[in-house]
Structure 1
Amino acid sequence: MSFIKSSIVTHILIALVFLVSGITVNLLQLLFFIILWPLHKELFRKINYYFSYIIYSELVFISDWWAGVEYYFYVDKEDYKYFGKEHAIFIINHKYEIDWLTAWVIHDRIGGILGNCKAFAKNSLKYMPVIGWTWWFGEFLFLQRDLVKDKYTIETKLKTLFEYENPVTMLLYAEGTRFTKEKQEASIKFARTKGLPELKEHLLPRTKGFSIGLPHFRHNLPAVYNVQIAFRGEEKPTLRALLNGQRLEAHVYMERIPIEKIPENDKECDKWMYDMYEKKDKMMVSFFNTGDWFKESGVKPVEKFVPPYRYYSLLNIVFWSILILTPFFYFTFNVLISGNLLQILLLVVPLGLLYVVLSKLMSVSEISKTSSEYGTDKPKTK
């Protein structure tokens, strides 16, 4: 079974299903956007929720059903009852290539609101086929990494998102870029010059975007969630590992923070964010040292539980696989038995290009391929 999951042929078939279904959904999004957006924005948003879910759940399938990642959640029972029933911002550590996918699994398995999971993203990502286009139709916040240019986007678009009738979650990676040792050194250097916490397993958060935008939407935002993600084991948590069927173990801590507990003053709000990241760092150090969030962090322990699987992502991928692969296999069989070299080349070359596209899409999330000016100047925003 592991050979099948790691096979290039299998990966090409997965890419074929993802890209064909994704572009089909993108075309439907475009059609409904043209027809409905000028007339009834809220109706378009409700329909687009399901379009977004179709795309996102295909990736959740890779994590839940293909690789069989084991997820363990740590959350207070009182906090848990709110999740998926209110607008929220998730403040998440940015250490792994698949921390965003872990957040999607959270929303699918314990929130049931995967289609309304939004995020801040680099402006260039909106041009990425399937995912980027889906994000654009989903009103993601695409940022230029420049506080002056992004100020208007943060203030107005977040306010609009939190006026949705149905619950919306915004993912915020306040570190602004994925953790690496080089960026950590720059973060510590900057922290020392400003008298800020020196973090061991995080980068110093970029606070301005959050503190500037908060006054414009806090009246529609019941809570912010502190979300901490860690993976246990020797296997690196990457998309490639998941695609190869590598079984990973993820541990997710969640804490609900009512909006009333977040200071309204900008400087006090910045300090609140730094304090949160100091707490997150202590938890991460504790987890890496002991395998437990709480033993060395001083944070109050909460109960661990395993959320149940939801079958929608499995049913979704089965539907699209039958729809796309049945005619594909029929066509491939006829081409191969024909013995026509030109027809075989016309089949093989596009499939090879498809594999290249898959590799390019996966490389977007690779830590080694991410670029950042972190530490070259004062962090701008995230």
Structure 2
Amino acid sequence: MGDSVKGIKFWLVFIIATLNINLAQILCYPVRFYNAQLYASIIDYSKASFSKFLVILLNLQGRKSVQQSVIISNHLLYTDWIYIWTLLYKLNTNADKLIIILKHSLKHIPILGWGMQFFNFIFLRRSWSTDNKVLTNQLQSISNDPFTLLLFPEGTTLSNESRPKSVKFTQKIGTQDFKHLLYPRVTGLLHSLRSLSHNPKLQVVDATLAYPGIPEGVYGQDWYTLKNTFLKSVAPDMIHVHLSSWSLSDIPIDDEDKFTQWLLQRWQEKEQRLDLFHKTRTLQSGGEFKDIPIGLSDPLSHTLDAFIYFIPITIVYIICRILI
């Protein structure tokens, strides 16, 4: 909304409210001649009301501190995003404001891809000359609103296909590779954080995911496949998540080399946690653990929310059955 329109709305609301208070004071003015103390109380009340109105007005006009966060995570399964989204719901944290950065090919999946587009998810082609503009424009469109941006710096799931590519890349740049992870990509994440840097309170959350039940030597995406998870009920009975959080102001986004080291340090910590998980089935030794069962916080109303969009289809079906 332009500043001129906001200014007009401000003065319109201010003048109308002030006139209403003046009208009430004028109507009560005769009371002064019959009961001066009561009249004084009425004026004091109108004064208090006006002060509260000013507080509300300033709050509406002022720049609001909105809840914004970026989640980075390792990528083991095609369903990682589902579990993270479920966690946001259970924590009551921006589940309705989630934006996910995905591969462009997913955009064209029938039905699911259409829904992702309506959700304003961000689709990248892995070509920075193209992705740069797309990412910049979409981040600008949400930069002043509450959101949780989810991206997987590894770019794809850990698999037989992606693992050798990660090894080859680390050998090329002369750095140490990971065993349980892929080498993270810096460009998209750094650009995202720089684009959102106008909010110093932006939180960057590092999520480490681990899944029990995967046989030794088998990649998670090959065990907990979409088919196994949703058609054969072969799904993880528990998801282990380790969360760490940083304020954007504590992350060196102004220097790409320093930021790269910061991100690699996060991945080294993930590697240590995942190594511990494979030995002990826990992502950390000691510390605070919280068991969060999957389920609706408010079963009745949230079930209605989940199925509300079936109502139009049901109505159309009933009408067709009656007429045909």
TM-score (norm 1): 0.57
TM-superposed deviation, 1:329:
10
CA distance in 2, matches of 1:329, 1:159: 44
The answer as to 2:129 corresponding to 1:148 is: yes
Q: Distance in 2 between matches of 1:280 and 1:216?
A: 26
Question: Which digits, 9 at most, give the CA deviation of each residue in 1:236-290, with x for residues without a partner?
Answer: 3333334344452111111111112210211111111111111111111211221
Letter of the 2:265 counterpart = D
1:164-220 per-position Cα deviation (integer Å, ceiling 9, x unaligned): 1xx201111100111113422221232133232311111101111222342221122
- Which portions of structure 1, spanning 4 or more consecutive aligned residues, are displaced by more than 4 angstroms? 317-332
- The aligned counterpart of 1:286 is 276
Aligned residues: 244
Give per-residue Cα distances to partners, 1:55-93, cap 9 Å, x unaligned: xxxxxxxxxxxxxxxxxxxxxxxxxxxxxx721111011
Tell me the residue number matched to 2:265: 275
Root-mean-square deviation (CA, aligned residues, Å) is: 3.0
Q: Does the residue aligned with 1:136 lie in a helix, a strand or coil?
A: helix
**Relative to 1, partners in 2 of residues 1:161 and 1:330: Cα closer, same or farther, differing over 3 Å?**
closer
Name the SS of the counterpart of 1:181 in structure 2: coil
Q: Equivalents in 1 of 2:230, 2:302: separation in Å?
A: 16
- 1:302 partnered with 2:282: no
Look up the equivalent residue of 2:114 and give its one-letter code: W
Q: Which amino acid aligns with 2:174?
A: G
Q: Alignment partner of 2:157: what SS?
A: coil
Residue 98 of structure 1 and its aligned partner are, at CA, apart by: 0.8
Instruction: Give how far 1:321 is off.
Output: 5.9
Q: Cα gap change, 1:319/1:182 in structure 2, threshold over 3 Å: closer, same or farther?
A: closer
Computing the radius of gyration from Cα coordinates, the structure with the larger value is 2
| Match in the other structure for 1:380 | none
Q: CA deviation at 1:134?
A: 2.7
Distance verdict in 2 for CA 1:286–1:87, change over 3 Å:
same
**Alpha-carbon shift at residue 313 of structure 1 (Å):** 4.8
Q: What CA distance in whole angstroms lies between the structure 1 residues aligned with 2:303 and 2:259?
A: 42
* CA pair 323-216 structure 1, distance change in 2 beyond 3 A: closer
Do 1:197 and 1:278's aligned partners in 2 also have CA atoms closer than 8 Å? no
In structure 1, list runs of 5 or more residues that go unmatched.
Answer: 1-84, 333-382
Give secondary structure in 2 for the equivalent of 1:179: coil
> SS state of the match for residue 152, structure 1?
helix
Q: Are 1:265 and 2:255 counterparts?
A: yes
Give the alignment partner of residue 179 of structure 1, picking from 125, 149, 158. 158
Structure 1 residues 162 and 198, CA, compared in 2 at 3 Å: closer, same or farther? same
Confirm whether residue 253 of structure 1 aligns to residue 242 of structure 2: yes
Distance in structure 1 (CA, Å) of the matches to 2:238 and 2:197: 35
Residue 206 of structure 2 is matched in structure 1 by 226
1:210 counterpart residue number: 189
Give 2:203's aligned amino acid.
Answer: A
Kept in 2: contact 1:86–1:168 (CA 8 A): yes
In structure 2, C-alpha distance between the alignment counterparts of 1:213 and 1:250, rounded to whole Å: 27
1:102-117 correspondence to structure 2 within 5 Å: 102-117=83-98
Equivalent position amino acid for 1:225 in 2? V
Q: Describe the shift of the 1:181–1:278 C-alpha distance in structure 2 as closer, same or farther (beyond 3 A).
A: farther
- Cα distance in 2 for residues equivalent to 1:98 and 1:216: 28
1:96 paired to 2:77 = yes
SS class of match (1:139) = coil
* Percent identity between the two aligned chains: 24
Work out the CA distance in 2 between the residues paired with 1:174 and 1:266.
Answer: 15
Mapped partners of 1:129, 1:195: distance in 2: 42
